[in-house]
Structure formats: structure tokens, C-alpha cells
Amino acid sequence: MAPWSSQHATTVPTFRSAALAYERVDGRKSSIWVANADASHPRRIARVGYAPSLSPDGHWLTYALPSRRGGLGAVQLVNLVSGKSRPIGHVGVVWSPESRRLALLDETGLSVLEITSRRRRIVLKLRNLALGSFDSGGTALTYAQDNGKAGRARRSDVYTVRLSDRKVNRLTRNGHSDDPTWGGGWIAYRRFRFSNEWAIGSVRVMRSDGSGDRLIARGHDDVSQAEQGIEPVQLSARGKHLVVCLAFEFGCPPAAFTIPAGRRVRLSFRRNPRTLPTPDGISRDGAEILVSEDPFESNLGYHVYVVPFGAGKTRLLLRGARSPSWTR
């Protein structure tokens, strides 16, 4: 691919680094902010933007601009140290753990942007892909690919691809697997089945070569109550802690498990029935979980909480904010 283009480059205020990024919600619009891990010293990066993703070293940030046709538009890549900002296209993004690479996904396939050299190279020219995450060394990615069909006709499986030689390893062959997340030597993923037209998920884990596959949790499946099973969200860096969500038609409240034992851990977070909570991620050491609360049809406002993995008290991190991303 051609070098990363400098066209349309812009400049934002410069900072040494950040530990937290989020959307500040104002009516139907959101602005992009960064701050310290405890939300102190907030600094605005963009007047309008959505879905921020902070690099693990806190030096880089991506966020999406709004599209004129609705939804998310082109993604901006911001160097928080130099203040320079550039568009990188209509892509989904995932950071590598050492912040040297950014996986990019669009309708043509998967590519990787090397942050230092600004080179972007194609990894897979395939359609209907869904990004998972990098391995601990940033040398391989897990992803899912489906057949492009909807409802009961949908089929999907989980794969990994090694970046050095683009070697693909297919990990599942049942046509009912997706949503992979990689942590340490484990990959957690969703195994789904159908109840009428509803996809009902369970969470399983397997080794990075596909061996040792085991069930972690079946989730709830009463479709009369709009229950859609359980979905993996993120594994901790060493693969010992897993945050998941209990899927409903609206909302997906958090739950947590130890890996590989599959022991469910009680969380101090208590769901308000008037809001829609969703876990955004887990810290690299597995000690804390970020949870966003959407007011849905109430007037309670957006909130972001930090929830301990196990014993401890949930604390409010942000008011009037959503879509948090952190370096922890």
C-alpha cells in the first residue's frame, strides 16, 4: 500500500500522553476528550466525534467523525504528543498491545498500519470479516468471518492470521462461532444457536491453536423476555480474567469469569432497570472493568463506572460521558 497520506492533516492541542478517552455527550452530539486515569485534567480533542480508541501507551488516539448520511464517518488518527491528526478512512480499528500497529477493517478486508513507518499493508482481502484482537506480542490477530447472510442462514467461524506471512489458521468449523477476543494463551468467543430468528449465545474459550475448547457459560435464553444469551467482551492481557455481557434486545449488563476455570465472579455493579449498561473493557491486569450506562428513555443521563473484578465498590468515573477507552 502507499504510505500514509498527509493530506487533510490537522493539528490538535499537544499533551505528553493520556490514560483515558471518552465521548462527552451534549444532546445528540458528542465531543472527544482525554484525561488522566481518574478523569482528572480533562482536555478536549475534537468538537464533534465518536467511538474513541486510545493506544495502550496513551500517545495515540482514533475517533470517528459523523457521516452526512448518518452513523459513523471517516476515522481520524491523532498523535497526542505532536498534536497532528490525519484521516485513515472508513475503517474499524484495533490497537496492538505495544501500540506499534493498528489493525484496520473495511469492506475490502483487513490491513495493518505500522505507526512508526506510516506504512499500511493488506493482510487479508476478504469480505464479511469482524475484528477480534491482537495476541500479546502484536504479531497475530483473531477475527471472525461470516457468509454475509442474516437470520438462521448466517454462518460464521473464528480464525487467526499471523502478520509476518499472512498465514491463516481456522479455529472453529461449526458455522456458529464469532466475537473472538485474545488474552494470553486463550481466545474467548461466542458459540451461537437459533431460537426462532434469535441468535442465542454461549461463551467458550480455547487455546490459540484451537485446542482445549471448553464451555464457560450458557447465558440466559428466554426469548419471551428478549434474552439473547451471553457474549464475550474482553480478556485481560494474561488471559485469566474475562468480562462478558448478558445480552438482551436492549442492553448488555456486565458479568465476569475467571479463566480457564470458568468461575463466575460477583460484581458490585447494580443495574438500574431504567438504564442500559454495557461493559466497555477490562484493565490489562484484570483488576477493573469499565461500564457505560445509557439513559435509554429515562432522564438519568450517561455515566461511566469503574467496577472491581470481584470484591470492592463500584465508583462513578464520569458523568455525561460514554464510550470510554483507557490504557490501564
How wide is the angle at C-alpha 116 spanned by C-alphas 112 and 121, nearest 5°? 25
Q: CA 48, CA 288: separation in Å to the nearest integer?
A: 29
Q: Closest by alpha carbon to 202, among 213, 183, 214, 216?
A: 216
pLDDT of residue 188: 98
Instruction: Inform me whether the pLDDT recorded for 27 exceeds 60.
Output: yes
Q: How far is CA 192 from CA 4, 5, 179, 203, 231, in A?
A: 39, 41, 10, 9, 9
Question: What is the percent of the chain with per-residue pLDDT over 70, rounded to a whole number?
Answer: 95
Question: What is the percent of the chain with per-residue pLDDT over 90, rounded to a whole number?
Answer: 81
pLDDT of residue 276: 93
pLDDT of residue 227: 86
pLDDT of residue 68: 76
**Which CATH fold would you assign to the domain 183-328?**
Neuraminidase (2.120.10)
pLDDT of residue 4: 33
Instruction: Inform me whether the pLDDT recorded for 9 exceeds 50.
Output: no
Kindly compute the dihedral angle of the four CA atoms of residues 9, 15, 16, 20, in this order, to the nearest 10 degrees. -100
- Contacts of residue 326, defined as CB under 8 A and 6 or more positions apart, other chains included, come to 19, 20, 21, 37, 54, 281, 283, 290
Do 286 and 243 form a contact (C-beta atoms < 8 A)? no
pLDDT (average), residues 226-235: 94
Q: CA 202, CA 188: separation in Å to the nearest integer?
A: 10
pLDDT (average), residues 101-107: 96
pLDDT of residue 3: 31
Reported as a pLDDT band with limits 50, 70 and 90, residue 260 is: very high
pLDDT (average), residues 39-48: 96
Reported as a pLDDT band with limits 50, 70 and 90, residue 297 is: confident
Most confident listed range (81-90, 180-189, 244-253) = 180-189
Q: CA 321, CA 294: separation in Å to the nearest integer?
A: 9
Q: Where are the domains of the chain?
A: 183-328
Instruction: Inform me whether the pLDDT recorded for 121 exceeds 60.
Output: yes
> DSSP labels for 257-322?
EETTT--EE--S----TTSEEEEEEE-TTSSEEEEEEE-TTSSS--EEEEEESSSS--EEEEESEE
Instruction: Inform me whether the pLDDT recorded for 2 exceeds 50.
Output: no
Q: CA 73, CA 67: separation in Å to the nearest integer?
A: 4
pLDDT of residue 273: 85
pLDDT (average), residues 300-307: 95
Within 10 angstroms of residue 11's Cβ, the number of other Cβ atoms is 11
Higher pLDDT, 310 or 225: 310
Instruction: Inform me whether the pLDDT recorded for 262 exceeds 70.
Output: yes
pLDDT of residue 73: 85
pLDDT of residue 298: 83
Instruction: Inform me whether the pLDDT recorded for 117 exceeds 70.
Output: yes
Chain-centroid distance of CA 320 in Å reads 21
pLDDT (average), residues 187-207: 95
Do 153 and 146 form a contact (C-beta atoms < 8 A)? no
pLDDT of residue 35: 96
Instruction: Inform me whether the pLDDT recorded for 21 exceeds 90.
Output: yes
